[in-house]
Amino acid sequence: MRRLLTPVVLALTAGLAAASAPGAAVPKVPQLIFPVVGKATYFDDFGAARGQGGHQGNDLMTTWRSPAVAVEAGKVKFHTTSARAGCMLYLYGASGTTYLYIHLNNDLTAKNDNKGKCVAGGSYWNGLKDGARVAAGQPIAYNGNSGDADQAGYHLHFEVHPAGGAAVSPFAYLNRAKKLLFPVQPDANFTAALRGNVVKADGVARSLTLMVDRLQSWPGGLRITDLKRTVQLSVPPSVVISNPLGALIASAQLAKLKKGQPAVAWTAIAPATIEAALGTPLMLSTERLVIG
Ligand SMILES: [Zn+2]
């Protein structure tokens, strides 16, 4: 972890210098964490004609109650008094950028009942407090269709306001954003099951690269489908490798796994850090591996 500290400190110092220099330009929007964990489709609908004028953000079509996460570290503010926005949230990012999360969940069931309230556990993440400081990637809300999105599909209306000023199109920032495999939980552990196919097995480095198609993570049992992303896992010698019938395969046989073989990897319980949630190579350690 020590080697990670230096760049962080440098980045913070650079940020302060830019903010305090006279005549400094508006601070830049940083590279974001993608605001939704799981399925999200979007296009650049910023500026599209709407009843109340131009569309001020991008709509990310999601599944009901999928997690919305902090795109950067910052402070949250709940906002519940706009009939159009429904349940919404401001994220005041550490960079000076303000982000709006609109149409958060207001349903108690998947039947669009509108019986939920704009409260933590309903629209805001369970246990989250108004005014709380959050880490990048920490879950802050559940996606839904409150406000004037009630007859639209579940979606997150996401806005980006550099330096707290006028909205700009989030599209380029979304395209460049880093996607999480599961939400970051600064003080909690996670475990995940990754289902896909072998891309590469390295018996010397004890690593396994999977093209992951589906993923489920705990706590929460969050399911992500259509992931289509490679993840490089570490495979300690102690790992139990088996076939679907339960027959054990010697761990030393790791290198003999063939490209394209179906595989399910369960990860060892570990802290849900940003490095783990991003699927950083070798940050996820395998505990059990079933090869099809
Ligand atoms: Zn919208």
pLDDT tier for residue 51 given thresholds of 50, 70 and 90: confident
pLDDT at 23 (0 to 100): 55
Does residue 169 share a domain with residue 101? yes
Q: Tens digit of pLDDT for each residue in 179-231?
A: 999 999 988 999 999 999 999 999 899 999 999 999 999 998 999 988 999 99
The two tokens of residue 275 are 């490095």
Residue 202 near residue 255 (C-beta atoms within 8 A): yes
Average pLDDT, the chain: 90
> What separation in Å is there between the alpha carbon of 159 and the centre of ligand 1?
9
Give the distance (Å) from ligand 1 centre to CA of residue 158.
Answer: 7
Q: Specify burial of residue 14 (Cβ count, 10 A radius: 0-12, 13-18, 19+).
A: exposed
Q: What share of the chain in percent tops pLDDT 90?
A: 76
Domain boundary among 176, 197, 217: 176
Count of CB atoms within 10 A of residue 219's CB? 13
Decide if 81 contacts 70 (C-beta within 8 A): no
CATH of residue 87's domain is: 2.70.70.10
Q: In which domain, by residue range, is 105 found?
A: 27-176
Whole-number Å distance, alpha carbon 57 to ligand 1 midpoint, is 6
Is the pLDDT reported for residue 255 higher than 70? yes
Residues 110 and 151 grouped into a single domain: yes
* CATH code of residue 191: 2.40.50.320
Task: Let me know whether 160 and 57 are in one domain.
Answer: yes
Same domain, 79 and 191: no
Question: pLDDT per residue over 7-47, tens digit each?
Answer: 433 343 343 434 445 555 667 999 999 999 998 999 999 99
Neighbours of 146 (CB within 10 A): 27
Residues 200 and 155 placed together within one structural domain of the fold = no
Assess whether 36 and 129 both reside in one domain: yes
Distance between Cα 102 and ligand 1 center (Å): 8
Q: Give residue-wise pLDDT tens across range 140-179.
A: 999 999 999 988 899 999 999 999 999 999 999 999 999 9
* Cis, peptide link before residue 236, omega less than 30° from 0: no
**Are both 150 and 274 inside the same structural domain?**
no
C-alpha 257 to ligand 1 mean position (Å)? 46
Q: Judge whether 99 lies within some domain.
A: yes
224 Cα: distance to centroid of ligand 1 (angstroms): 23
Six-digit token string for 284: 């996820």
